Chains A and B, each alone.
Chain A
Amino acid sequence: MVALIPRRLFCTKISRNCHQHQLQWSVKQVTKSNFNDSLHDFHSHLSSSDFVAVSFQNTGSFSAAWHRVSSFDCPETAYLKARRAADRFQLLQFAVCPFTISGSKVTAHPYNFHLFPRDELNIGMPSYSFSCQTSYLTAMAQQGFDFNACIYDGISYLSRAQELVAKVRMGNPIAIHHVVKPTSTPPSVADTIFVERVKSRVKHWKKACADSSSRKTDGERLMEKYTSFDAVIGNGQFLGFFFLSDNILKFVYWLQMLGEFSDDLVALKIPTKGGGTQAVRVVLTSSKEDKSLFERELQNVEEEQNKKIRGFREVIDLISASQKPVVSHNSLNDFSVIHSKFIGPLPLNMDEFLCSLRLVFPHVFDVNHLMKEIGPLENVTNIPAAISYLKNRFFAPIDMEISHGALLNEGKIHGQTVLRICHLFAKLCSVLRITPGAIQSSDDNITSRLGGYAHSFKSCSVSSQESVDGRIRIWTKSPRKVGCKHLVFLWGFRDSLSAGMLKSLLQGSHDVFSEEFDVCLVDKSCAIVVFLQPNLSQAFLDIMSSEGISGSLRELVSEGLRAAGYETYKRACGLGYWEADLASALDKASATPDCFSQSGSETNPSEVYWCNDLMINLATCEV
């Protein structure tokens, strides 16, 4: 199709010199055209490596300021925010890098896959539409991202869940390989009659086929059979039998009976749109050899089809199957995206998500979390900063060896981040005196040395891109741990009020504010008040809803000031009230009857590290 259309005269070529990296490693760029070849190389690189680092480029991460994961989020709300972002935005490139660390040397094999959710099978999948944040696209453009390459030639994919749906929807026949043993209960009279009837019918049909096909050459018959299933139908060489989905027993007899003719008959299952088996198609082959040939043919067709369906997900499946530890920079964010795009829809709550994820990726390392081990880092927000932080404090030279060194030319700049993650991870291992070689040799070692670090999710997403938009600045003072129940959300105050102004307004308004408290703005419409004395938050909430409210607080309330506890905030996230400003979301949530927060949240009071990044530990999730 493309060949017919003359190329537009002025398609923009992306100039590669627009962005100078301090480190220019060569990364293998993979698009639709070289995917199959690269997949093979990747597989061998993967099996010879100890770790896999991943990083990717999204079209956005939050639609409104309060939608981004912040320090006041507890694990549950952080997950809900990550979940929302993962569902809305789209992956455009996915960098994967199998690597091995031996001493101070890192051997890395970086690949950068360009993705586009093209509807290859014309079934409305993998995604009908997706959101883009212009600031993200602009930032990508500044890094020299080639959108044409991505959209014209990106690799498509289907998640595992989508694959199941797609197979059903396409309704391709599936060969039945093993015959199920019939149940032990003796067959009823009706069943026996049924089996006998089918038997005679099949015999009859076989005979008729043999008669008619004797007039044709073998070659002709083969052609008819293999080129298309429809041709087989047209030739009368198949026997279709429809049965109701609830009549499993008949199906079993049917198969059992076919076993008697197993020399030259092949049974195919024809799925319906609804998902169940609607019919069995039986194909007559001329001999035993012919049968095995036909079966192999069927298998090839199926494999080919599966490959086409899976697309890029093949890479994810390979990583998963290899059971290698996966290293990422912002794992909550990354793995919620990976789950949503390549595994299946994200579960409603965090625990289910972690369990589901653990089945696919048993070992996950978050370099951000590892960084925490080194020190309570004040300001290491992104990978380059972390690397230079380590460089200034520790002597841990890392020698990077990249497998595609020979391919170095311009235009290979994408996917550098994944190499920096490898680099950082190796440095961290060296500083923390972890010998990654040992991970491979003994499983005990993992638990003893890295066990504490594995499966930890850093829920605070701070990447270099996000820090550009620093509208929320919380606390520059020392971090402290604050229970969620000490936080009160305030909204309905005047526009363009700063946190300081709000604080001074509150200070004189009521006794509860005589003790130490803190105020910060979440967005323009809503602020958080942190009470550092116990019980004051509840007292404040009680006052806000009581009749006897007086003084300047009364004034504020009559102007529209409203307050709610952390539960309301959790409810707003849980019910998906992703309004543009937090105030309207909280308004909606407080109007909704409280059916969402059950005993679970009370028995397990969550804490947030106020002004500290928080960890979500996968180990607490019981499978």
Chain B
Amino acid sequence: MNTTKHWPKRALILSRVLSRAFFSNTSTSASPSPTFPLKHVTRSNFDSALVELRSHVRAADFVAIDLEMTGVTSAPWRESFEFDRFDIRYLKVKDSAEKFAVVQFGVCPFRWDSLKQSFIAHPHNFFVFPRQEIPLDGPSNEFLCQTTSMDFLAKYQFDFNACIHEGVSYLSRGQEDEARRRLKSLYKEQLTNSSHNLRETMDVPLVRVADVLFTERMKKRLSEWRDELLQNRSRGPQDQGASNDLNQQFQTVFFKMRPALSLNGFTSHQLSLIRMVTRKHFKDLVYVRFNGESSSQELVVFTDSESDKDRLVEEVKNEHYRRAEMRIHAAVGFRHVIDLLSSENKLIVGHNCILDIAHIHSKFLGPLPLTAEEFVSCVNKYFPNIIDTKILLNADNILQQRMKKSSTSLSSAFSLLCPELAHGFKSKVQSSQPCVKVEVHVDEMRSPDWNSGAKHEAGYDAFMTGCVFAQVCSHLGIDFQLYSTSENLVQNEKLQKHMNLLYLSWINGDVIDLRTGSRTAEFLGSNILRKRFPRILYENIVLIWGFPSKLKPSVIRECICKTLGPTSVISIYRMDQTAVFVQFSKAELVSDFLILKESLERSDDAISVLHPLSQLLEGGNTRAASYETYKDICESPVSELLFADQAEAVGIKWKTKLLPSDVVESQEDNHFHLENALDHTPETVEKSKIRKTEDVVNDSSNKQLTCNEIIDTLLKVEKIRRTSNL
């Protein structure tokens, strides 16, 4: 899934299929590599797998991870655009991680074996499903599926049944704390008002004859049993088994070293009657409901004395508490793996893994924070060492050449850098470096040239990621003999400069540093082969939506150019069929445009109909605002399919959001004392500009002036047209 995040899906699938075809051809000619599946982990084998994984991770030099999710973007306009500002990009990642579910989690610990001169990899493929194992408050467990992603997973034979039927569930840290808090308060409640409260609520009034008769019989039966016990005790406990009741409903057993009657085959009403009889008539008998692993058992237990009775009640309560705690512990489920990775402080390796990390944060640690900076500092606390192979591949010149301009997607990197592993034969193009050997261990099976071939299976993708990383390390000249422990690998200076850098967005190479939260636009002076986009000035951008759907971006451009000059628009970017970004050549044009639009909408005369912008405003639903509004809309948890609908759902009722006039108004009063301090700073310049536009806004409330303005622009248009015709 990693590589699918920002790549056109169709092309990707094609390339995968082609490469798959390539594989199958070559592997038939080469000696068949032993194919055993990687370690699949579901509910049934989770506990044992976790124990093994624990030791593997402890011994590992690094751990590669990969996730498969039910989708990537919740609406087309939430896809990755080149017009995304840094904060918007994080909001998009956040939205994705919050809405979609993780269905597979690949974990592959790699350990250097100096005897074998090879890495030992243990690929694990966890099926994950957010089943609600214990009742929790809050909204019902719900997640989104993106149809294309599901289809994509299906094309790679993802096993949905294994996931939904048998997937390992989990609780986030927050959920676990909440569950424990609830349990504690429940326990405390029981302690404080047990004796008093229970008696009051439990007494069932005996109204029906049948109940009265039943109660009498039970009373008799219990007293017989008790008397028998007491007699036996005086005689000695030898022949207790022989005197066992014939009645199947009562069976004498031992409970916590005390004789007890196990009650079977009663209805819940009958049980409550027995409970009442026990409490009312027998001081030395205690009614106990004992929750076993699968079923619960009802018992009447004999106690020696009042203090023994109290002790028993206490014991049972503690037992209940322990069991509830164990249930919570079990419900934590897959998060134990995350806790393991975090506590072992191992180097985590992923491929283009910002979304993976965001999913880990939102599913297992806690809700994602509002800003990238907070997110990064939180991640850094739990996983101090993360390395992204996509960063590594793009940072190095020689590697770039070796990749021969092919994409840095995981599978192409794997087949190019690790041909022996990928295809089971030696690369024809002999590279200077030998391939790093990787031996795969799955349970008792081991193989030096393993290939399960199940692409887009998280466990296998994690394995590929780890292999690519090992190969890149060897390329960078890291001697695994020397750096055999994880700490040393982390400290390696050649890796240090790539450490904890992640692509916040691959589409225009925005990199975020997990240690500092700072962003590096492109990095480390490497020559990147792909095209760089010119720097985008976000203050020059206007967002327009809700215009007639037949308007093409080129027509919109024409409309605006007719009004604000032929060079006013640098570019138009279509977000979806209802919205565009317009990038102006100057920031002033943004406010000019917004003011003009606003005034056109307010005036209702013939001139405004003739205005070139009227084509854009047709239908009366065209809205416009500065780039900042896009952020507000992205922040919303709602995801409507079309941007125009989304804006409406977010509650935008205005047609035009004039730039900063409201900001000035709200700040006007308490701003004067800052005035001096801010003198000669860019902000003041900005502010004076704001003032000007505000004046214009105020003026434009005068209708006469508005018309004049419009005529002015019309004249301007005419002039432009004439000059361009000439």
Contact = CB atoms under 8 A, between A and B. Distances in A.
Interface stretch (B145-153, B243-251, B581-589, B691-699): B145-153
A78 to B, nearest CB: 19
Given A119-B148, A124-B76, A4 B161 contact: no
Interface in A142-196: 146-148, 150-152
Interface of B: 10, 13, 17, 20-21, 24, 37, 40, 70-71, 74-76, 101, 129-132, 137-148, 150-151, 153-166, 452-454, 457, 549-550, 639, 641, 649
A131 B143 contact: yes
Contact of A12 (B101, B154, B165, B453): B165
A2 interface: yes
A129 B129 contact: no
A216 interface: no
A151 B157 contact: no
Given A5-B157, A12-B161, A138-B131, A133 B142 contact: yes
B164 A141 contact: yes
B160 A63 contact: no
Interface of A: 1-2, 4-14, 59-60, 62-65, 90, 116-119, 122, 124, 127-135, 137-138, 140-141, 146-148, 150-152, 272-276, 469, 524, 576, 580
Given A12-B161, A132-B70, 11 more contacts: A6-B453, A8-B457, A10-B37, A12-B159, A14-B165, A118-B147, A132-B145, A135-B141, A148-B154, A151-B151, A524-B137
Given A5-B157, A134-B132, A127 B147 contact: yes
A312 to B, nearest CB: 15
A348 to B, nearest CB: 13
A129 B70 CA distance: 10
Contacts of B150: 116, 151
A5 B20 contact: yes
A129 B74 contact: yes
A9 B34 CA distance: 14
B697 to A, nearest CB: 24
B142 A134 contact: yes
Nearest to A137: B164
Contacts of A5: 17, 20, 155-157
A134 B130 contact: yes
A580 B139 contact: yes
Given A63-B140, A119-B147, A11 B20 contact: no
Contact of B155 (A2, A122, A132): A2
A10 B146 contact: no
Contacts of A130: 144-145, 147
Contacts of A119: 147-148, 151
7 contacts: A11-B157, A118-B151, A127-B147, A129-B144, A138-B132, A272-B550, A273-B550
A134 B159 contact: no
Contacts of A129: 71, 74-75, 144-147, 639
A272 B550 CA distance: 9
B132 A274 contact: no
Q: 4 tightest CB-CB pairs across the interface, nearest first?
A: A274-B550, A147-B160, A12-B161, A134-B141
Contacts of B131: 134, 138
B161 A14 contact: yes
Contact of B164 (A2, A64, A147, A275): A147
Among A128, A141, A152: residue with most chain B CB under 10 A: A128
Given A8-B454, A14-B161, A132 B143 contact: yes
Contacts of A127: 147
Contacts of A117: 147
A128 B76 contact: yes
Nearest to B452: A9
A450 to B, nearest CB: 38
B75 A128 contact: yes
A111 B146 CA distance: 28
A8 B156 CA distance: 8
Contact of B160 (A60, A151, A275): A151
A151 B154 contact: yes
A11 B74 contact: no
Nearest to B148: A119
Given A127-B147, A147-B161, A151-B160, A4 B21 contact: yes
A615 to B, nearest CB: 28
A416 to B, nearest CB: 19
B156 A12 contact: no
A131 B144 contact: yes
A243 B176 CA distance: 67
Contact of A128 (B21, B147, B154, B163): B147
Contacts of A4: 17, 20-21, 24
B184 to A, nearest CB: 14
A118 B21 CA distance: 25
A12 B75 contact: no
A5 B13 CA distance: 12
A428 B131 CA distance: 38
Given A128-B76, A129-B147, A134-B143, A12 B549 contact: no
A19 to B, nearest CB: 12
A63 B159 contact: no
A580 B160 CA distance: 28
B147 A132 contact: no
Nearest to B137: A524
A139 B76 CA distance: 31
Interface centre among A59, A64, A119, A138 (most CB of B within 10 A): A138
Nearest to A117: B147
A9 B144 CA distance: 28
Contacts of B147: 117-119, 127-130
Contacts of B138: 580
Contacts of A1: 13, 17, 155
A135 B160 contact: no
A57 to B, nearest CB: 13
A469 B10 CA distance: 41
Contacts of A59: 145
A598 to B, nearest CB: 18
Contacts of B17: 1, 4-5
A7 B40 contact: no
A143 to B, nearest CB: 11
Contacts of B132: 134-135, 138
A13 B657 CA distance: 56
Nearest to B141: A134
Contacts of B155: 1-2, 5
Contacts of A122: 10
Contacts of A132: 70, 101, 142-145
Contacts of B164: 137-138, 140-141, 147
Nearest to A152: B154
Contacts of A63: 139-140, 142
A461 to B, nearest CB: 15
Contacts of A146: 161
Contact of A11 (B75, B159, B641): B159
Contacts of B453: 6
Contacts of B163: 147
Given A8-B457, A128-B147, A137-B164, A64 B159 contact: no
Nearest to B10: A122
Contacts of B166: 12
Given A5-B20, A118-B147, A274-B550, A134 B454 contact: no
Contacts of B452: 9
Task: Report which residue of A133, A140, A272 has the largest number of chain B beta carbons within 10 angstroms of its beta carbon.
Answer: A133
Contact of B165 (A118, A141, A151, A524): A141
B540 to A, nearest CB: 29
A129 B150 CA distance: 9
Nearest to B160: A147
Nearest to A64: B139
A11 B159 CA distance: 5
Nearest to A273: B550
Nearest to B639: A129
A8 B13 CA distance: 17
Nearest to A89: B142
